[in-house]
Amino acid sequence: MVLISAAICTKSGKTIVSRQFVEMTKARIEGLLAAFPKLMTSGSGKQHTFVETESVRYVYQPMEKLYMLLITTKASNILEDLETLRLFSKVIPEYCRTLDEKDILDNAFNLIFAFDEIVALGYRESVNLAQIKTFVEMDSHEEKVFQAVRETQEKEAKQKMREKAKELQRQRMESQKKGIPLRNFGNSSDSFGVSSSSISSASMGIAEIAKPTPNSITTKTSTAPKNALKLGGKSRDVDSFVDQLKSEGEKVTNLTPVANSSSSSSAPVRPKTDIPTDDVHLRVEDKLTVRIGRDGGLQTFELAGLLTLRVADEKYGRIKIFLENNDQRGIQLQTHPNIDKDLFRNKSQIGLKNPAKPFPLNTDVGVLKWRYTTQDDSAIPLTINCWPSETGDGGCDVNIEYELENTKLELQDVTITIPLPMNVNPSITECDGEYNYDARKHQLQWSLPVVDATNKQGAMEFSVGSSIPSDFFPVEVSFISKTLYADLRPLQITLIDDESTHVKHSIETILYPEKYEVV
């Protein structure tokens, strides 16, 4: 197919967003868009999804008060046109909460970026909805550098403003003591070479655009001894960060220290549990990224784990943690650089290289992390089999089932989300558990409170009209579990000076998927 343009317009014919994919004059593309509402009026009363002129074909789909419109050449394949139209129609609800003109305009750039991922130079790209979302949301290293430089400039302007304010206050006080009026106070310049009017302008600009960054947040003063070992390393402000970027040729991608990576603002939001914590608290976290093909077969499997320690009383600063490691899969373990590696390797114990120095107080310290990747299908903890079958009336009957492969796990709050075509209601014929149809997001959510060894299988069947099998992918899965995927757990904590004294501590364990999908 050759796609000339994609546009979103109102039912009255007003174009809201338009993207052109081939070389064509502005007058020509505006003429094609202006002709569409007239063609719709002339064909009123007919139920079609396309209309043709002597030179082009208009393929469209109603979306509440709007039309998703594609303009193609007449030589293009109408079946491919309709499949491409469905993909365009799926993209819009991903970025617009309500399908109205204002929401479309507010998210116009995101929609245009997504349209560019679907079509290049007039030809359809081989992408699905999940890939489009990934490409559009991808981080830009240049943008991060620009933001860091801008924050540095704002910081310098703010510092000059403070210095100028102090200098003007000092001059005012000296003038009052001497009884001399301060002339040209509003426009005076001083030895700093900055006029008060420019300071005022800078302060207004800062008030409008300055935002707090992780390095500018004020932290509580710790009561730890001055010689306490800081696993997070020295704090660095934006200036040193930018200098480092320049010195490394702007190739640095990790913007935060390793020990604090779990608190990064760009990190995915992890589930929180409200459990009582003791003066020594351990959090063990497993995070899964799983991608399974719709026809079976594991495409991506990655496990990332982290053990963090928090000490709230200085008398427990000098401790060590005993671990039990029953891993048989070959999970890669890595301790923090300030942890004694020989002690961990030989005895599976976590302690500082210098036992005389304590752990920092009131700080979540990452002491051990692990990673595991594989292409072995047996690693999948929960399999999802989604089987859409086309019916003779243009719809699909969908059978979807789950099975817990790793019966040691107990998954809670399991939600399986199946995308649906727009403007169709599913007819549920069978369901283990509960379901909810979200008409705004065009999704069917299948909810199960618990999936464990006693409830390891379940199925749901439903029918949808005006659909094709690819409409029901990607299927996304979410859950939480207090059982870890990695066979690794803390046994006990003792004082370094007296290993017979066991330190009372609390443990928080959690397993959750960062992304779990069937594509």
More confident residue, 201 or 63: 63
Q: Report how many domains make up the chain.
A: 2
282-311 average pLDDT score: 93
pLDDT tens, 451-493?
999 999 999 999 999 899 999 999 999 999 999 999 888 989 9
327-356 average pLDDT score: 89
pLDDT of amino acid 257:
39
Six-digit token string for 345: 């390797």
The answer to the question of residue 497 being in a domain is: no
Residue with tokens 């590696």: 341
Please report which confidence band the pLDDT of residue 355 belongs to, taking 50, 70 and 90 as the band edges: confident
**Residues 308 and 283: beta-carbon distance below 8 Å:** yes
Domain that holds residue 431: 382-481
Residue with tokens 């020594």: 280
The answer to the question of residue 11 being in a domain is: yes
**Residue 445 clears pLDDT 70, i.e. is over it:** yes
336-354 average pLDDT score: 90
Q: Alpha carbon 381 to chain centroid distance?
A: 23
* Of 66-70, 446-450, 497-501, highest mean pLDDT: 446-450
**Residue 42 clears pLDDT 70, i.e. is over it:** no
pLDDT tens, 488-497?
889 899 998 8
> Where does a domain end: 101, 121, 137?
137
Residue 153 and residue 148: Cα distance in Å, rounded? 9
**Residues 426 and 417: beta-carbon distance below 8 Å:** no
The answer to the question of residue 50 being in a domain is: yes
pLDDT of amino acid 21:
85
Residue 505 contacts by C-beta under 8 Å, 6 or more apart in sequence? 278, 279, 280, 281, 282, 493
The answer to the question of residue 498 being in a domain is: no
> Where does a domain end: 79, 114, 137?
137
Instruction: Spell out a b/e string for 392-422, using b for 16 or more CB atoms within 10 Å of the CB, else e.
Output: eeebbbbebbbebeeeebbbeebebbbbbbb
- Pairing of β 280-292 and β 506-518: parallel
pTM: 0.51
Distances (CA, A) of 312 to 217, 308, 318: 21, 13, 12
Q: What does DSSP assign to residue 19?
A: E
pLDDT of amino acid 322:
93
Please report which confidence band the pLDDT of residue 188 belongs to, taking 50, 70 and 90 as the band edges: very low
Peptide bond into 474 cis (omega under 30): yes
pLDDT of amino acid 120:
82
Please report which confidence band the pLDDT of residue 407 belongs to, taking 50, 70 and 90 as the band edges: very high
Angle between helices 78-95 and 129-137 (to 10 degrees): 50
Please report which confidence band the pLDDT of residue 192 belongs to, taking 50, 70 and 90 as the band edges: very low
**Residue 370 clears pLDDT 90, i.e. is over it:** yes
Please report which confidence band the pLDDT of residue 403 belongs to, taking 50, 70 and 90 as the band edges: very high
The answer to the question of residue 112 being in a domain is: yes
Distances (CA, A) of 33 to 15, 27, 61, 66, 225: 7, 10, 15, 14, 72
The answer to the question of residue 21 being in a domain is: yes
In this predicted structure, which of 35-44, 96-105, 157-166, 448-457 has the lowest mean pLDDT? 35-44
pLDDT of amino acid 200:
43
Please report which confidence band the pLDDT of residue 222 belongs to, taking 50, 70 and 90 as the band edges: very low
Residue 347 and residue 206: Cα distance in Å, rounded? 54
Quote the longest CA-to-CA distance of the chain. 98
**Residue spans of alpha helices (H) in 179-248:** 196-209, 238-247
In this predicted structure, which of 89-98, 140-149, 280-289, 325-334 has the lowest mean pLDDT? 140-149
Please report which confidence band the pLDDT of residue 43 belongs to, taking 50, 70 and 90 as the band edges: low
**Residues 387 and 399: beta-carbon distance below 8 Å:** yes
pLDDT of amino acid 119:
86
**What is the share, in percent, of the chain residues with pLDDT greater than 90?**
34
Residue 484 and residue 329: Cα distance in Å, rounded? 14
Specify the DSSP element, H or E, that contains 400: strand 396-404
Residue 409 and residue 455: Cα distance in Å, rounded? 11
Six-digit token string for 200: 């005022």
Averaged pLDDT score across all residues of the chain: 80
pLDDT of amino acid 351:
92
pLDDT tens, 111-170?
888 888 888 877 888 888 888 877 777 766 777 788 888 888 888 898 888 888 888 888
In this predicted structure, which of 27-41, 135-149, 156-170, 386-400 has the lowest mean pLDDT? 135-149
Give the CATH number, domain containing residue 13.
Answer: 3.30.450.60
**Residue spans of alpha helices (H) in 138-231:** 141-178, 196-209
The answer to the question of residue 475 being in a domain is: yes
Please report which confidence band the pLDDT of residue 196 belongs to, taking 50, 70 and 90 as the band edges: very low
Give the CATH number, domain containing residue 414.
Answer: 2.60.40.1170
More confident residue, 385 or 200: 385
Distances (CA, A) of 368 to 172, 206, 348: 57, 40, 11
Q: Sign of the CA dihedral 75, 78, 82, 84?
A: negative
62-66 average pLDDT score: 83
Angle between helices 141-178 and 238-247 (to 10 degrees): 140
> Where does a domain end: 102, 137, 172?
137
The answer to the question of residue 100 being in a domain is: yes
